Amino acid sequence: MNYSNNVFKVALLLIIFWVECLIVFARGKDHDLGLGASFVFGDSLVDAGNNNYLQTLSRANIRPNGIDFKPSNGNPTGRYTNGRTIGDIIGEELGQPNYAVPFLAPTATGKTILHGVNYASGGGGIMNATGRIFVNRLSMDIQVDYFNITRKEIDKLMGATQARVYVMKKSIFSVTIGSNDFLNNYLLPVLSIGQRVSQTPDAFIDDLISHLSAQLTRLYKLDARKFIVGNVGPIGCIPYQKTINRLSEDECVALPNKLALQYNARLKDLLAQLNQNLAGATFVHANVYDLVMELIQNYAKYGFTTASKACCGNGGQFAGIIPCGPTSSMCSERDKHVFWDPYHPSEAANVIIARQLLQGDPKYVSPITLRQLRDL
């Protein structure tokens, strides 16, 4: 009788042991969910490959784009730079185990989405009409629609209660958009395509702010609480603008920069209002304009040899007309150029920008840094 009891006890202990092992194993698989998710919205500055799956004229899945992107062994992924985007770098620095997967990629299924999803699209803008010269692209409205789909999937994966906590308290929503609304909408030289033919700058920027406010509020209603929103950089200083306007190395085109600054002032006010009016939300303002301008004006201080000429491109003094592709000329020292192509920063520049946003000067990121946002 005692022998039977002992056997029973041993068997029971073994069962308990194996159950605990299974629990530990399961937790081990999902332990990094404690780091939360990164949901990325925006344009080509942070597109991680969504445009690969669109019939569009705006693509970066051609060599030598991605030549320094280690996870792909230097093969193009759809990122509009030689290596990592700002979004990639920020995710790494915040401890994310994986890059946010492009929403349109076949791999954006199951538990993969719990580490984050990238909705950004080259050519996309705040306004739905922005970027139509590229035929297809994902506007910010569509990107928020797609997050709504993801949000429902997270409920299925985690259960409604746990999913809401995960999205609200553990996830960061980054928004990098607005440049195309000027470059590939309002400032387009072809009449009837750009909005300049029918709107004053003030009216157009009013529309931008109104639409963006609605888009951010939609995300809030889908349980987003931690936001980082970037303003528009000095778009009058990119190699493309310098080249087509035949400027000297230390000049920038005045009108695009003026419009960017006008929009940026309104954006800062909007984020302050949203911080006040949307209970429990934190909107961090990323002053990309001043940060990139600092790199352009003081490039040597940061180890660059030029802030005017594209590393990869063709045409004109600054290689700023033809986008980066197989027939482009390419510089030998990619980490010495602020700009990778006529429009986009190099990975080296992205690293500096990202690190400032993670834990930098309040004039570049406010009211808190991204590390502080993560830890809220």
**pLDDT tens for each residue of 309-324:** 999 999 888 999 989 9
Same domain, 45 and 158: yes
Cα–Cα separations (whole angstroms), residue 271 to 42, 91, 147, 278: 17, 22, 21, 10
Q: Exactly one of 115, 285, 337, 344 is catalytic; name it.
A: 344
Structure tokens at 272: 């302050």
> Do 15 and 128 share a domain, yes or no?
no
**198: helix, strand or coil:** coil
Structure-derived torsion over alpha carbons of residues 309, 310, 315, 317, reported in degrees to the nearest 10: 0
Half-sphere CA count of 273, side-chain side, radius 13 A: 13
| 16 and 103 assigned to the same domain | no
Verify that 135 and 201 share a domain, yes or no: yes
179 is catalytic: no
Catalytic, out of 43, 47, 223, 341:
341
306 phi and psi, to 5 degrees? -155, 145
Q: Are residues 16 and 75 in the same domain?
A: no
> What is the pLDDT, as a whole number, of residue 194?
54
If asked whether residues 49 and 18 sit together in one domain, one would say: no
Please tell me whether the peptide bond between 64 and the residue prior to it is cis, using omega within 30 degrees of 0: yes
Same-domain status, 133 and 20: no
Domain count, the chain: 2
DSSP 358: H
* Closest by CA position to 141, among listed 87, 253, 218: 218
- Would you say 233 and 289 are in contact if contact means Cβ atoms under 8 Å apart? yes
Say whether both 238 and 181 belong to one domain.
yes
CA distance 268 to 373: 17
Alpha helices in 112-194 (DSSP H): 140-158, 160-165, 179-181
* Catalytic residue flag (residue 341): yes
Same domain, 22 and 57: no
- Characterize the bridge pairing of strands 312-313 and 329-330: antiparallel
Query: What stretches in the chain show pLDDT beneath 70?
Result: 1-34, 190-197
Can you spell out the DSSP letters for 218-245?
Answer: HHHHTT--EEEEE----GGGSHHHHHHT
Tell me, yes or no, whether 25 and 142 share the same domain.
Answer: no
The conformation of residue 50, written as its DSSP 8-state character, comes to G
Provide the β-strand partners of residue 312: 330
Question: Do 315 and 183 reside in the same domain of the chain?
Answer: yes
The rounded distance, in Å, linking the Cα atoms of 149 and 143 is 10
pTM, two decimals, is: 0.90
Q: Whose CA is closest to 186, among 240, 238, 131?
A: 131
- What's the pLDDT score for residue 247? 94
Catalytic one among 38, 44, 139, 328?
A: 44
Is position 44 annotated as part of the catalytic site? Answer: yes
Q: Please report, for residues 6, 186, 262, 277, the alpha-carbon distance to residue 199 in angstroms, rounded to integers and kept in the order given.
A: 86, 9, 15, 29
Measure the CA–CA gap between 209 and 214, rounded to whole angstroms.
9
The predicted structure's pLDDT at residue 126: 98
**Could you give the CA distance from residue 287 to residue 268 in angstroms, rounded to a whole number?**
9
* Structure confidence at residue 193 (pLDDT): 56
How many other CB atoms are found less than 10 A from the CB of residue 172? Answer: 25
Query: Which residue range forms the structural domain that includes residue 162?
Result: 36-375
What is the spatial distance between Cα 93 and Cα 376, in angstroms, rounded to a whole number? 16
Domain shared by 28 and 125, yes or no: no
Q: What is the DSSP letter of 345?
A: B
Distance CA 274, CA 218 (A): 12
- Whether the bond between 342 and the residue before it is cis, its omega within 30 degrees of 0, is no
Predicted pLDDT of residue 196: 60
The tally of CA atoms less than 13 A away on the side-chain side of residue 119 is 27
